[in-house]
Structure 1
């Protein structure tokens, strides 16, 4: 029998106690997996770009920029391509079923961020065959049950049409996949010329310009140069990378990262206290057996390794179950909620499992290692 087999059998001496410990550990790592996946998805840690720049009004996202500003941005020698986007928010059938629309020039969007969104010449050609045609992201299409050729009606929250209606009707020309699982595809892409001509206000303005720097050009320096260009104009700008924009957007409501870390930290501290207390009593119950093992020739380090192996086994099984459930949850709800169970999330979880497994077993292992054989036999 190997040391691992002995540690595993010791862990299952009291099956109910072991199962309850594993359930507690699984719940803690399920919480960690979901919250870490939320941060990876919503803050763009896995998918947002540090190079792609967004130019918005310095007065806030609700202040539009004139279309005429595009030529001044494109004239900058550090700009490889520039596009623009106007955002509409609305709902399908009920107000809780919110849908986002990005109205853009498909050809310019393809040049700026076609790879990131998973656009192809065939998709761009399909949306170009009709002004009311749209491309729908895979996540949105699956959530709404939409398919190519279907017509969809979006009721806008704050973008009325010239005829007074808030209903925007589109034909789905194609579905874009996104470059990776981390790419946000829970929105649709409409043609700017159609939206701009039909809306009642804000004509010939955009919510943001999207800028792709030339190879070798620092995005930070280019962002500062664009803002300097418009500093004394009637519409000063604020230029940020995609990742900076997403993080700043979330900070308008709260420091999400800090809140998540506090929640996860509290869960792990509570778990640490529970498991340490349980393992101390579990090892104390086996004091006589530890004396027997020492009599049979087990070294002090061998006793320590045996108990640490037991706690690591419990944490590995419980943590593995929790992470598997978190991964399953991100698969089921990830496209809708923006959850991304990335490789860094998994790697950090494995490190936490190892650290907590060693930390919870350290005190009982140290006590068992120092227990004299005679004192151990007196417990019987």
Structure 2
């Protein structure tokens, strides 16, 4: 029998106990996987840019900015590209089926943010072929069951000149995003068509997307853009995408602190449960440990055997919990802001190893120090 087989059989000595321990560990890592995925997706760790800047009205993102700001921002020598956009919030078929549309200039958005969104020249050309055409993000297309060439109707809060709130679009293409963490749960429409048809707010935009030149500090450029419009009728606030997401969440609560407390409480509870259970399990096997020492097992090998058991429990339970968390992020949809990234996985593996060793140290130390005479008396 190999060392690993002996460790595994000891861990499964009482299947019900081992199963319950693994289940408890799995629940803890399911909580961790979901909360870490939420932080990763919602606070910009997955896809949010530290360099790409958003310029919005200082009074709030619901307040518009003049389209004329475009030329003044573009005139800055440190700006590589700038685009504008107007958001259209609406629904398809039923009010609960909410979709978001960004009305943009196709060429400008491709230059400023095309790489992140996966806007290829073919997609931009397809969008420019008709004023009522849109590009749909892959996540939104899959959620709605849409395909290229399909005609869709959106009821928006943005009223048309004829008083209607119904907008009709033809799907010209589907953009994929740079990677799986990119938000693609929205549509891209043409600003010129939307601006010409809407009843109010003509020649205004909700914000600008600014890409600094390589080597330019985004913070310095943001301050300079805000200073440019400080004395205007619509002063601006310029932030990176990541800064905005973090500031938005802080309006409600310190999400990071709350998540840390919840996860910390779960892990401390699991730590106490597993340590107590392993101490009891080692005490049950005192006679066997004495026999192993008589047969020549060194104290180091006995310690490694106990540590291996706790690592096996945490590895099996943690893998199950993380697998469920990954499945939850896949089925929940991007609108929940969950992103199970490689960073989350690596941190989880490190926590599994740390907790597995920490819970096994005390039981392993007790087994290592157990005198042979005392072990035989326990029978």
Q: Does 1:257 align with 2:294?
A: no
Q: Could you tell which deviates more after superposition, 320-329 or 137-146?
A: 320-329
The runs of 5 or more residues in structure 2 that have no matched partner are: none
Residue 359 of structure 1 corresponds to 358
Q: Please provide the CA RMSD for this pair.
A: 1.3
Offset from partner CA, 1:293-335 (integer Å, 9 cap, x none): 1122222222211101100011111111111222222233344
Q: Does 1:230 align with 2:250?
A: no
Residue 41 of structure 1 corresponds to 41
Question: Hey, what's the Cα distance between the residues in 2 that align with 1:251 and 1:188?
Answer: 27
Offset from partner CA, 1:38-72 (integer Å, 9 cap, x none): 22112220211111110011111111111111111
Q: Could you tell which deviates more after superposition, 223-232 or 181-190?
A: 223-232
Assess if the C-alpha contact under 8 Å between 1:152 and 1:170 holds in 2.
Answer: yes
Q: Counterparts in 2 of 1:153-192, with a 5 A limit?
A: 153-156=153-156, 158-192=157-191
Question: Hey, what's the Cα distance between the residues in 1 that align with 2:240 and 2:216?
Answer: 14
Q: Does 1:145 align with 2:145?
A: yes
- What displacement does 1:79 show? 0.6
- What displacement does 1:338 show? 3.2
Question: Hey, what's the Cα distance between the residues in 2 that align with 1:86 and 1:246?
Answer: 18
Other structure's SS at 1:250 match: helix
Residue 75 of structure 1 corresponds to 75
Provide the aligned length of Structure 1 versus Structure 2: 379
Offset from partner CA, 1:315-370 (integer Å, 9 cap, x none): 11111111122222223334443322111111000000001101111111111122
Q: Counterparts in 2 of 1:1-380, with a 5 A limit?
A: 1-156=1-156, 158-380=157-379
Assess if the C-alpha contact under 8 Å between 1:153 and 1:168 holds in 2.
Answer: yes
Offset from partner CA, 1:231-263 (integer Å, 9 cap, x none): 122111111111111222222222222222222
- What displacement does 1:102 show? 0.6
Other structure's SS at 2:108 match: helix
Assess if the C-alpha contact under 8 Å between 1:283 and 1:368 holds in 2.
Answer: yes
Question: Hey, what's the Cα distance between the residues in 1 that align with 2:44 and 2:193?
Answer: 30
Q: Could you tell which deviates more after superposition, 279-288 or 263-272?
A: 263-272
Question: Hey, what's the Cα distance between the residues in 2 that align with 1:136 and 1:255?
Answer: 33
Other structure's SS at 2:112 match: helix
Offset from partner CA, 1:2-60 (integer Å, 9 cap, x none): 32221111001001111111111112112211221122112220211111110011111
Alignment TM-score, normalising by the size of structure 2: 0.97
Assess if the C-alpha contact under 8 Å between 1:140 and 1:336 holds in 2.
Answer: no
Question: Hey, what's the Cα distance between the residues in 2 that align with 1:2 and 1:336?
Answer: 49
The runs of 5 or more residues in structure 1 that have no matched partner are: none
Assess if the C-alpha contact under 8 Å between 1:143 and 1:336 holds in 2.
Answer: no
- What displacement does 1:84 show? 0.3
Offset from partner CA, 1:108-157 (integer Å, 9 cap, x none): 0001011110001111111111111110000000000111111111112x
Question: Hey, what's the Cα distance between the residues in 1 that align with 2:22 and 2:164?
Answer: 56
Distance 1:166 1:254, change over 3 A: farther
Other structure's SS at 1:77 match: coil
Q: Could you tell which deviates more after superposition, 187-196 or 249-258?
A: 249-258
Assess if the C-alpha contact under 8 Å between 1:139 and 1:336 holds in 2.
Answer: no
